[in-house]
Amino acid sequence: EAGVVQSPRYKIIEKKQPVAFWCNPISGHNTLYWYLQNLGQGPELLIRYENEEAVDDSQLPKDRFSAERLKGVDSTLKIQPAELGDSAVYLCASSAGAWGNAEETQYFGPGTRLLVL
């Protein structure tokens, strides 16, 4: 079974440019998560989707970040415009169960490493 797929794996852009990350979750997983991981830190949740609905986006900086999960499968996370402080790893994860199931295991993708110059 294929795991969570993310692309690109690496991205280097200049500040003020837009950037987009793509995630394909494990087949059949209803819940999808986007995390931000700064160097030397643990992942921090940006947004969680239950099918196509964003059920928790309280940590998403909505002035420059946006996300969508059309058709409840693939998801795209966008930053426009990017700032120097956005340099980090952006992780996508998925889980099979419904929102609120405390014992659902999250499966993570390899992440996209973003460098903003």
Partner 1 sequence: SQQGEEDPQALSIQEGENATMNCSYKTSINNLQWYRQNSGRGLVHLILIRSNEREKHSGRLRVTLDTSKKSSSLLITASRAADTASYFCATNSGANSKLTFGKGITLSVRP
Size of interface with partner 1, in residues (CB under 8 A)? 24
Q: How far is the CB of 43 from partner 1 (least distance, A)?
A: 5
Which residues is 90 bridged to in the sheet?
A: 36, 112
Tokens read off for 46 = 């940006």
Strand 53-56 with 88-95, pairing:
unpaired
Q: Restricting to residues 57-116, which ones interact with partner 1 according to CB under 8 A?
A: 91, 93, 99-111
Residue 2 as a binder of partner 1 (CB under 8 A): the answer is no
* 84 φ/ψ angles, rounded to the nearest 5 degrees: -55, -40
Quick one: tokens of 71? Answer: 């058709």
Residue placing its CB nearer to partner 1 in the complex, 22 or 108: 108
Phi, psi of 11 (to 5 degrees): -150, 130
Interaction pattern, residues 5-44, with partner 1; x per rule: CB under 8 A: -----------------------------------xxxxx
Using the minimum distance from each CB to partner 1, give the nearer residue, 40 or 85. 40
What tokens were used for 108? 């993570």
Tokens of 105: 């295991």
Q: Which residues bind partner 1 (CB under 8 A)?
A: 4, 40-45, 55-56, 91, 93, 99-111
